[in-house]
Amino acid sequence: MSNGTQTALAGVTQEQGVPEEIVNDFSIQVATVNGSGSQSANSVLMRSIFLMGVPVSGKNIFPSNIAGLPTWYTIRANQHGYVARRREVDLCIAMNPETARDDVRNVRPGGVAIYEEALNLGTLREDITLYPVPFAKLATQSSPEPKLRKLLANMIYVGVVAELLGIGRDEVVAAIKTQFKSKAKAVELNVMAVDLGIDYVRARLMKRDPFRVVRMGLTAGKIIIDGNSAAALGAMFAGCTVVTWYPITPSSSLCETMIEYFSRYRIDPETGKATFAIVQAEDELAALGMVIGAGWAGARAMTATSGPGISLMGEFAGLAYFTEIPAVVWDIERIGPSTGLPTRTSQGDVLSAFYLSHGDTKHIVLFPSSVEECFEFAGTAFDLAERFQTIVFVLSDLDLGMNNWMAHPFQYPNKPLDRGKVLTRDDLERLGQFERYRDVDGDGIPYRTLPGTQHPLAAYFTRGSGHNEKAGYSERPEDYKNLMDRLLRKMDTARSYVPQPIVDINPNAKIGLIAFGTTDWAVVETRDQLKEEGIESSYLRIRALPFTPGLLEFVERHDRVYVIEQNRDGQMGDLIKLKVGRQCDRIQKVLHYTGHPIDARTITEAVTTAEDQMKEGK
């Protein structure tokens, strides 16, 4: 456990009577069984805190099965806005008899455990506050239907926790209304269950723990949403017309959300017809093949998948690269290799996405780190794919994609769609010539026409085999070399089009931190922790491959640069090393690969240890 945290909590033990209050800074872990309907209770609890104006995040640790196995939901509330995972559990709600003992053992000293009274855990810990609650008994009062009763049992703990922490009933009720939308009956039942919890606390429990929620104003105007939904919405507002997919955790919800919202907002009001096609493909090869066919014909087309799907897309990815066809692939990363841990998060596909396919293939890759960026990059990815006529990967992860995040409301896109260098019939008429693969503008990007263009110059032939500037079949060494060199040039042009890194230079810092994607949230917190320990740091957050030139400058500016990522091999670190050449010995890797999202304390410890060794001259 971290020193910082221990200091903050010193004095919080039961012997000392009522401990010092800990306000708006704790993490809750709800341990349940999947398929038991705890998901909505968890969301309601999270949203209630959010509605209290306190920054909050929720993370679901669920098994790769459908029902009956242990599941944990972690809620972090933090007045400073830190929303990364915390290693420590302050409050545990142990609803799953199978894991309850472990769950309670896992609470940090000074913490709280709420559990089913019948489990008899009263003697398990002396250093935490224990609140037994007869959930089962209370549930029998909630409904005569056993099935419903089981569902409502979860909502009872929401009431218990709310009352113990001081979360307002109004906020809970509002959260329930959001959760169950307009279904009055469901709202009513759930509120009733919550009240059972509240009443029980009032009647039977004495608050003996330090944790409290107090109203703040930090969440006003914000939304709560998961990254997959954000991406789906972003794509919808970016004019996406063809979506293909093959279900795979944790990407399925991205496309399922598309189905939902496209059906609502993308049916032409006049004709009643769809302005899109969403197709469940037979596998990931087909999914990408369809995207490529659609991109070739001019649609904004995308698919979403995860690691195993990426591995299946190799051949088609190379085709898109070599024939220069726009395509967008979202990879919601999970733990690999192979099937790996389908319900655990990872950043392990950096190299496989970047290098995907044989031969000298390389791709544009984007790394959103927030739901706002999921929304934004959904459009950016299409713009880049069409501008550069190539396949673009967007690497999100399970943590970002499937968990709930606070965010600013999405901004209506202010830029027109960049459809890239497409020549229309009129253009052809005006130009009088067209060669599909010629570098007319010196930026490596050729022009294209769409099938169906009614002009004798429009037609050309697309092939994944060797071709010359006129798109004619060619095995000539010069044609091949020209093409390959142009593709490199094109990728170079892309460096200034892709989202540039977010850089925060601290002029006093000797060290720099580099991260990407969801690791950002822990790094932000780490920087403050480091500062507390007297270590100033700069920070560069990578948002895309290929790299932009600023990277080298950042590395050169700092004695040591820590590249933090969530995979075993330090994949981004290797790419950075290659990029910065002899400066590579400034790079140090901080790696986290357990399947759980990275936390600030882990990074802080790694960095301080390394810095200490540095000082000691090791």
Partner 1 sequence: MTTVNPNLPSKTNRLGLPMTEYKGLDSTLCAGCGHDGITSQIVKAFYEYGVEPHRVAKFSGIGCSSKTPAYFIGNSHGFNAVHGRMPAVATGAMLANRTLVGVGVSGDGDTASIGIGQFIHLLRRNIPLIYIIENNGVYGLTKGQFSATADVGSKLKNGIVNELPPIDCCVLAIELGCSYVARSFAGDPKQLVPLIKGAIAHKGTALLDVISPCVTFNNHEGSTKSFKYAKEHEEMLHEIGFVPYFEQIQADYPEGAVKEVELHDGSHIRLRKLDRDYDPSSKPQALQLIRKANELGELITGLLFYDREKKDFIDDLNMMDEPLATLPTSQVRPSREALAEINKEFS
Ligand X SMILES: Cc1ncc(C[n+]2csc(CCOP(=O)(O)OP(=O)(O)O)c2C)c(N)n1
Select from 245-253, 438-446, 532-540, 550-558 the region that touches ligand X (CB under 6 A): 245-253
DSSP state of 15: G
Q: Is 225 in the site for partner 1 (CB under 8 A)?
A: yes
464 to 483, contacts with a second copy by CB under 8 A? 464-466, 475, 477-478, 480-481
Residues between 464 and 493 that touch partner 1 (CB under 8 A):
464-465, 473
Phi, psi for residue 120 in degrees, rounded to 5: 60, 50
Q: Tokens for 386?
A: 């069409």
Instruction: Please list every residue from 104 through 163 that binds ligand X, using CB under 6 A.
Output: none
Q: Does 426 bind partner 1 (CB under 8 A)?
A: no
Alpha helices in 180-313 (DSSP H): 184-204, 227-237, 252-265, 284-296, 307-312
Residue type, 370: S
Q: Does 236 bind partner 1 (CB under 8 A)?
A: yes
How far apart (Å, rounded) are the C-alpha atoms in residues 115 and 125? 13
Phi-psi category of residue 92: left, alpha or beta, with phi > 0 → left and psi -120 to 50 → alpha: beta
Q: Which of 308, 326, 379, 517 binds ligand X (CB under 6 A)?
A: 308
Q: CB under 8 A: which stretch of 109-117, 128-136, 287-295, 498-506 binds partner 1?
A: 287-295
**One character per residue 498-527, x = contact with ligand X (rule: CB under 6 A):** ------------------------------
Shortest spacing between CB 322 and ligand X, in angstroms = 13
CB of 247 to ligand X, least distance (A): 4
224 binds, among a second copy, ligand X, partner 1, none (CB under 5 to 8 A by kind): partner 1
What is the rounded distance in angstroms from the CA atom of residue 328 to the CA atom of residue 402?
A: 20
Query: Residues 72, 246, 316, 562: which binds ligand X (CB under 6 A)?
Result: 246
Cα 461 from chain centroid (whole Å)? 39
Q: Is 296 exposed, middle or buried (0-12, 13-18, 19+ CB in 10 A)?
A: buried
Beta bridge partners of residue 431, listed in sequence order = none
Q: Does 249 bind partner 1 (CB under 8 A)?
A: yes
Sequence-distant (≥ 6) Cβ neighbours of residue 102 within 8 angstroms: none
* Of positions 309, 368, 401, 501, contacts ligand X by CB under 6 A: 309
Contact 318, 464 (CB under 8 A): yes
CB atoms within 10 A of CB 109: 14
65 binds partner 1 (CB under 8 A): yes
Q: How far is the CB of 339 from ligand X (least distance, A)?
A: 6
Contact pick of 535, 593, 605, 610 for a second copy (by CB under 8 A): 593
Residue 224 sits in the site that holds partner 1 (CB under 8 A): yes
Cβ pair 348, 308 in contact under 8 A: no
Residue 267 phi/psi, 5° resolution?
A: -100, 130
Is 565:522 a contact under the CB 8 Å cutoff?
A: no
Q: Which of 410, 480, 497, 593 binds partner 1 (CB under 8 A)?
A: 410
If the CB atoms of residues 197 and 597 are measured against a second copy, the closer one turns out to be 597
Backbone angles phi, psi at 400, to 5 degrees: -75, -45
- Residue choice 273, 430, 615, 618 for contact with partner 1 (CB under 8 A): 273
Residues within window 538-567 making contact with a second copy, judged by CB under 8 A:
567
Work out whether 409 is an interface residue with partner 1 (CB under 8 A). yes
8 A C-beta contact, residue 563 and residue 589: yes
Evaluate whether 197 touches 157 at the Cβ level (below 8 Å). Answer: yes
Question: By the criterion CB under 8 A, which residues form the site for a second copy?
Answer: 63-64, 307-308, 310-312, 314-315, 317-319, 321-323, 335-344, 346, 348-349, 351-353, 355, 357-362, 463-466, 475, 477-478, 480-481, 484-485, 488, 567-569, 571, 574, 577-578, 581-582, 584-585, 593-596
